[in-house]
Chain A
Amino acid sequence: MQEENFSPQASLALIQSMIAKTRQGISDNSIHFLIWGWVTFVACIGQFILKNMLDYKQHYLVWLLVFPASLASIYLGMKQNKKREATTYVGESMRYLWMGMGIGYFVLSMILTRLGWNTTIYPFFMLLYGLGTFISGKLLEFKPLVYGGLMAWVLAIGSTFFNYDYQMLFGAGAILVSYIIPSYLLKIKVNKKKNFL
């Protein structure tokens, strides 16, 4: 293979292109963010309506939506894995980040199951929403994710001043600003870049 010369600028551009490539990869995979974002959003609002407006005792059953969402996400993930290209360093870090976050959510759900449904667990979920999106935003150099993460933390603090019934609405707000809106913005940004090229 013929050796190609890189100036320091070109080397930096290579690193920038790695970030851009990962950003595009995340945007292509944003379906996962959107599935989880929308399912969580609908579940939070649904639980609020069932509990506070319809006075339905088993209001938590709305969270069963998570199971079909998991199956859909696993199926899509397996499909995407088949056509995956070589991963970048940032991509590899993102993989570990979201693997860690996934296990974190799972363990937190176990804590929730153990503590019971009327426990004020929402602030902790919001804490994790913020953690994952803040780090992702910094890695991808994408500000809406960073701001989304920060806003999720602010909402987590805010929710502690309200009782459980209203914390659901804070949860919906946190998922909207940290997952749903940044995912759409990332998609728009990457699509614009694709069209430009």
Chain B
Amino acid sequence: MNEEENLSEMESLRLINEMISKAKSSFVTTGAASMVWGALIVFCSLLTWLQIYLNYFFFVDVWSLTLVAVFFQVYFSIRERKLRNFLAHDETITTYVWSAFGICIFLLSFYNSKFGNNDQSISSLFMLLYGIPTFITGGVYKNKPMIAGGILCWGLCIISMFTENTTDMLLMAASGLFAWLIPGIILWSSYQKKRAANV
């Protein structure tokens, strides 16, 4: 173990700041996770919409792709963590937020598979859930596009209460776009700029 080093108050603050900025270049905040998840939701929603529109179901289990995506996200996040020897506090928070979100999505999917044929608009409930972790993560990282994305998801959820199921799929695609894909692209480009500046 390293020799114990005494830190001044200023050094402690600097260390905390450094941890925050290091954490900001993590897998989550590079925008990669956000982009993958967002692109997948947009793809699945648009494909479902197209299938309903054409009344031809060529890929019924399209949403099962989200499970594959969850698997890869967990794998990359574990691998990332093994490479680093610390976990910043904001990352701990977002890990809990997204774990809880994952459990809720699983429960909602379970509910949907059990009562999928009733007339409730389950897509509205999914959009409601999409908004919550995005808004909290945006708040924790002070990321305005994510805060706006979360709020937009709730707005789209309210609109979906007044629309047909087919249109709901387009609203769902918009949720994925605003909540994850666009904020992810913004995070990715700012990460690339920072990386280029540091080289």
Contact = CB atoms under 8 A, between A and B. Distances in A.
Nearest to A14: B12
Nearest to A137: B96
| Among A135, A138, A153, residue most surrounded by chain B Cβ atoms (within 10 Å) | A135
Nearest to A110: B158
Interface stretch (B34-42, B65-73, B100-108, B188-196): B100-108
B12 A127 contact: no
Given A104-B131, A139-B96, A160-B115, A153 B103 contact: yes
Contacts, number: 124
Interface string A71-99: 00000000000000000011011011101
Contacts of A17: none
B4 A8 contact: yes
A111 interface: yes
A115 to B, nearest CB: 6
Interface residues of B, number: 47
A20 B110 CA distance: 37
Interface in A102-156: 103-104, 107-108, 110-111, 114-115, 119-120, 123-124, 127, 130-131, 134-135, 138-139, 149, 153, 156
B96 A138 contact: yes
B116 interface: no
B7 A7 contact: yes
B6 A160 contact: no
B89 A15 contact: yes
A99 B96 contact: no
A11 B100 CA distance: 29
B148 to A, nearest CB: 13
A111 B7 contact: no
Given A100-B131, A110-B161, A157-B110, A134 B100 contact: yes
Contact of A89 (B4, B15, B89, B114): B89
B140 interface: yes
Nearest to A120: B115
A90 B128 CA distance: 24
Contact of B140 (A96, A138, A153, A160): A96
B150 interface: yes
A3 interface: yes
Contact of B131 (A89, A103, A156): A103
Contact of B9 (A3, A89, A131): A3
A193 to B, nearest CB: 22
A153 B154 CA distance: 22
A39 B119 CA distance: 30
Contact of A100 (B11, B89, B93, B135): B135
A99 B135 contact: yes
Contact of A8 (B5, B120, B138, B150): B5
B57 interface: no
Contacts of A93: 90, 93, 136, 139-140
Contacts of B129: 104
A139 B139 CA distance: 15
Contacts of A6: 6-9, 11-12
Interface pairs A-B: 7 shortest CB-CB: A96-B139, A138-B96, A100-B135, A114-B161, A5-B6, A100-B136, A100-B132
